[in-house]
């Protein structure tokens, strides 16, 4: 499991099956995937949550996933690069 703080310009690399935790340190934040619908906190753009609050999502697909905090989208956003596990699967 990977822990991260939601801050500006957050770019991390994980492996498929890893869980990312967004841990609130303040008030009035949310998480929306870009484009929306892949992951994110419940509610619409105006729905925000206050500390203490954690949003977790397990990435099962390889890809590049952008996200933002809608109320602070100009400064709170990032990219999660989900790569394949570093072993070869024989089936």
Phi/psi at 72 (5° precision): -130, 45
Contacting range for Cu ion; rule: CB under 5 A; set: 37-45, 54-62, 67-75, 78-86:
67-75
d(CA 9, CA 75): 7
* Residue of 14, 20, 22, 29 that binds Cu ion (CB under 5 A): 29
Please, which residue, 8 or 12, has the CB nearer to Cu ion? 8
Shortest Cβ 71–Cu ion spacing (Å): 5
Q: Can you read off the two tokens belonging to residue 22?
A: 């967004």
76 scored as a contact of Cu ion (CB under 5 A): yes
- Dihedral of the alpha carbons of 38, 71, 29, 43, in degrees to the nearest 10: -50
Interface residues with Cu ion (CB under 5 A) are 29, 69, 72, 76
């Amino acid at each position: 499991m990977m822990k991260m703080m939601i801050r500006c310009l957050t770019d991390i690399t994980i492996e498929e099956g890893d869980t990312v935790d967004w841990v609130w340190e303040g008030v009035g934040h949310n998480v929306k995937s870009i484009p929306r619908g892949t992951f994110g906190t419940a509610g619409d753009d105006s729905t925000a949550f206050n500390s203490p609050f954690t949003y977790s999502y397990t990435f099962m697909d390889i890809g590049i996933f952008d996200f933002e905090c809608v109320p602070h989208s100009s400064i709170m956003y990032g990219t999660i690069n989900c790569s394949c596990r570093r072993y070869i699967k024989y089936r």
